[in-house]
Structure 1
Amino acid sequence: MKQVNKHIDKHGVGHVTLRPEDDQDMWHLYNLIQQGDLVRGPAVRRVQSVSATGSTDSQRVRLNLTLQVSSVLFSAGDGEGAAASNDPSSSSTATSTASLHISGRVTSENPHVRMGAHHTLDVETNRDIRIEKDPVSGSQHVWDSVSLGVVEQSIVPGRGAEVAAVVCGEGQAVFCLLSEHMTVIANRLKVNVPRKASGSQHDAGLNKFYSAVYDGITRHVPYQTPELKAIVVASPGWVRDAVVDYVQAEATKRGNKALATALRTKLVKVHVNSPHVHSLMEVLKNPQIAAQLNETKFAREGMALDKFFKMLGSDELRAWYGPDHVSFAVDRAAVGTLLISDELFRASDPGLRKKYVAMVEAVQQKGGEAVIFSSMHESGQRIAQPTHRNRRDSDISSRRRGRRSRGGSVQW
């Protein structure tokens, strides 16, 4: 994401103009834009004109519109066949497949669109989007510490996929790209492998599967980009070993030196219990992966959540969840680590959002740590279900200080 300009006063009123470049930037915009905000961006509108003879003509016109937001819809696009770029100089690790749609009523005068008309902006990469938060203009929100933090995180250069994971079983594989704020499913692969009793047909099916995995890695894994820290091949049983042996041999056979080097320096084989996407949590817990990724945001999220669950099992009085218990702990400066989902900051009720923002600021001001989980990662989805005893309120957690303190982990 590029920040084109920014003007925000001390009260949090003002605007920021941003230029999204990839899927992760679309996710950041989704977390920034709220109901009532004024958003200005490029749009395509079909305009009808009537000639002097009474005939009508319809044409599509590209123009800039300002909307007062009524709803925002984000779709990750779950990468059905999206191809990753292996150009080291590329700032994006994959073709943008996410979509962001901003609906609202037009608030600025335009020769082609009347004031108050309803329109939906389809946000495009490399097109400027201006977001204004001003209560005077009708927005119920201002630029608080959380939203400003999202802006600062989004404009850090060089944020590509840090881990590529191929989670596979016999005849099936899922290609995932893990970046700081998102887990993108780049592709799903399924190949029919006959039973072993079929003999040569079974071997032929396996070879077809291994070849498809090789093609998937060359197409969906950005193995030449410097941001990529690890290429993980995970599976139950023996599948990962067979896949790795085939891919390494095939890279050498085809003379793909870049892939062969990446496999030699970045490859990690991990055992998981099932060949499905949720096994990524097992991957991140692997000591070898944790050592390589200890500075990344999603690794810190995974470790914090793991500590919470361990504390919940071993010392329940120090691990609390639920809005009332967390607020109680925060008010008494008893929270060492607060775990909270970014979904809470998308609340349409400004009072509710202010409550969550104040909670994060209070913990940080009193020396605690606030970990904001991305709901686009597996850990962010798990934080919504910390325990079977409370499935309704589960997006916020905190571990409390002190050996004998009464609280510690909460989820809302």
Structure 2
Amino acid sequence: MRVIYKDMRNGKIRLRAEALDDLWTLSNIIEPGDIASGRTVRKIKLGGEDEKSESFKKDVLLSISVENVEFQKFGNTLRVSGKIIEGAEDIPSGSYHTLNIIPGTEIEIAKKEWLNFQLSRIEEAAASQPKIIVCIFEREKAVFYMPRAQGYEKLLELKGEVEKKMMKSQVADFYAEIKKAIIDYDSKFSPEKIIIASPAFWKEYLSKQITEPELKSKIIYSTVSSADVTAVAELMKRPELQAVLREDRVSMEESLVSELLEKIAKGGLAEYGLEQVKFAVESGAVEKLLVTDSFIQQSRQEGSYTNLEQLLKSAERMKGKIFIISSDNGPGTRLDGISGIGVVLRYPIS
């Protein structure tokens, strides 16, 4: 995720979602009552409602008062719906619209009050970058990248001096050059993963050159349509890279949930279940509050989210830290198994 600007005096933050994980993060940050603004496509009708009128699609900038937030996990889209409060003159205020957010979408979020855990999640998503090297190549070019907070930094570009009908020796020489660069960057940066992507079958040829077991264990192969400047953005949407981007987050969630369950088993410094969590928050004893995204979504559907939000605010005022755990992974499944919400305590309360 990239933060484009912050205007905390007016409660506004403009962001660009850059990965599928960012959509999940935003689904837990954007709430009913927020104002969401962004560019979108809107169908515009020419003429009155009773007339046989033509319609056309128009790219517009809209602001909506959020009423519903839905993360479509299998459609790679975050849908933010609500009433239009500001837009072009030919778009009636008060009509409904849905902003569809995908990786690459920019959106401005305005809140009456930002909670610390929401700001922390944005900062975490913007600052944390996976320790990976990316190599995108085709027949005559190979480009190496490393993720940075500002985007992807180009480390190296190699060009193969070959004709379209390459001799086998020329092919082998270029692959050897790519392999050498991979080994050099592995030694220099010690990445956890190395993503190698190419159009068509080129990566299969390169994979035959890489035989070292330790190096092979780090490599993930993917597919892109070309090796030009658009390839990185295309690769960001690939499931292979998304899995790598999620690994660090899952590791942290595993540690948090394991700590909670261990303290529950020992007794005294952990509680779970909504009523027990409320009592712990009111006692000022909460060090960490863990809640799953499924628990949050259910509270929205049942109309009890306002109460949950007040509970989270109270925990923060008492210097407790809030962590949202994904129900899609093992740690979240285990937390859902004990109600979906729990707290680690500074001191016993019973």
TM bracket (short chain): 0.5 to 0.7
Question: What is aligned with 1:354?
Answer: 310
Work out whether 1:148 is the aligned partner of 2:119.
Answer: yes
- Of 395, 402, 406, the residue aligned with 2:340 is 395
Question: What is aligned with 1:118?
Answer: 96
Inter-CA distance 260–350: structure 2 relative to 1 (3 Å threshold): farther
How far 1:17 sits from its partner (Å)? Answer: 0.9
Q: Which amino acid aligns with 1:121?
A: L
Question: What is aligned with 1:2?
Answer: 2
Work out whether 1:35 is the aligned partner of 2:42.
Answer: no
Work out whether 1:129 is the aligned partner of 2:81.
Answer: no
- What are the within-5 Å matches in structure 2 for residues 332-351 of structure 1? 332=283, 334-335=285-286, 337-343=288-294, 347-348=299-300, 349-351=305-307
Whole-angstrom CA distance in 1 between matches of 2:212 and 2:316: 43
- What are the within-5 Å matches in structure 2 for residues 199-238 of structure 1? 229=192
Inter-CA distance 362–115: structure 2 relative to 1 (3 Å threshold): same
Counterpart contact for 2:2–2:17, Cα < 8 Å: yes
How far 1:318 sits from its partner (Å)? Answer: 4.4
Whole-angstrom CA distance in 1 between matches of 2:32 and 2:20: 21
Report the TM-score when normalising by structure 1: 0.52
How far 1:23 sits from its partner (Å)? Answer: 0.6
Q: Which amino acid aligns with 2:33?
A: G
Counterpart contact for 1:345–1:353, Cα < 8 Å: no
Work out whether 1:73 is the aligned partner of 2:29.
Answer: no
Question: What is aligned with 2:272?
Answer: 321
Counterpart contact for 1:338–1:363, Cα < 8 Å: no
- Of 41, 46, 49, the residue aligned with 1:49 is 46
Inter-CA distance 147–259: structure 2 relative to 1 (3 Å threshold): farther
Question: What is aligned with 1:381?
Answer: 333
Inter-CA distance 124–144: structure 2 relative to 1 (3 Å threshold): same
Whole-angstrom CA distance in 2 between matches of 1:18 and 1:359: 26
Q: Secondary structure at the match of 1:155?
A: helix
Inter-CA distance 125–71: structure 2 relative to 1 (3 Å threshold): same
How far 1:334 sits from its partner (Å)? Answer: 4.5
Inter-CA distance 357–49: structure 2 relative to 1 (3 Å threshold): same
Question: What is aligned with 1:248?
Answer: none
Percent of pairs with identical residues: 23
Counterpart contact for 2:192–2:218, Cα < 8 Å: no
Inter-CA distance 332–116: structure 2 relative to 1 (3 Å threshold): closer
Whole-angstrom CA distance in 1 between matches of 2:26 and 2:340: 21
Report the TM-score when normalising by structure 2: 0.61
Whole-angstrom CA distance in 2 between matches of 1:100 and 1:161: 26
Whole-angstrom CA distance in 2 between matches of 1:401 and 1:57: 64
Counterpart contact for 2:286–2:315, Cα < 8 Å: no
RMSD: 3.8
Question: What is aligned with 1:18?
Answer: 15
Work out whether 1:59 is the aligned partner of 2:15.
Answer: no
How far 1:256 sits from its partner (Å)? Answer: 1.4
Work out whether 1:256 is the aligned partner of 2:234.
Answer: no
Q: Which amino acid aligns with 1:384?
A: D
Whole-angstrom CA distance in 2 between matches of 1:70 and 1:371: 24
Which structure is higher in strand share? 2
Q: Secondary structure at the match of 1:111?
A: coil
How far 1:227 sits from its partner (Å)? Answer: 9.5
How far 1:329 sits from its partner (Å)? Answer: 3.7
Counterpart contact for 1:158–1:227, Cα < 8 Å: no
Q: Which amino acid aligns with 1:25?
A: D
Question: What is aligned with 1:190?
Answer: none
Question: What is aligned with 2:139?
Answer: none
Counterpart contact for 2:80–2:100, Cα < 8 Å: yes
Whole-angstrom CA distance in 1 between matches of 2:132 and 2:326: 15
How far 1:303 sits from its partner (Å)? Answer: 2.9
Whole-angstrom CA distance in 1 between matches of 2:68 and 2:203: 51
Q: How many residues align?
A: 256
Counterpart contact for 1:330–1:363, Cα < 8 Å: no
Whole-angstrom CA distance in 1 between matches of 2:319 and 2:295: 16
Whole-angstrom CA distance in 2 between matches of 1:56 and 1:334: 63
Inter-CA distance 58–16: structure 2 relative to 1 (3 Å threshold): same
Whole-angstrom CA distance in 1 between matches of 2:128 and 2:254: 24
Counterpart contact for 2:35–2:65, Cα < 8 Å: yes
Inter-CA distance 384–117: structure 2 relative to 1 (3 Å threshold): same
How far 1:322 sits from its partner (Å)? Answer: 2.0
Runs (5+) with no aligned partner, structure 1: 78-96, 135-141, 163-223, 232-250, 269-294, 387-393, 408-412
Counterpart contact for 2:61–2:87, Cα < 8 Å: no
What per-residue deviation string (whole Å, max 9, x for no partner) do you get for residues 36-77 of structure 1? 1111111112223259xx974332111111111111110122
Question: What is aligned with 1:243?
Answer: none
Inter-CA distance 260–98: structure 2 relative to 1 (3 Å threshold): farther
How far 1:325 sits from its partner (Å)? Answer: 2.6
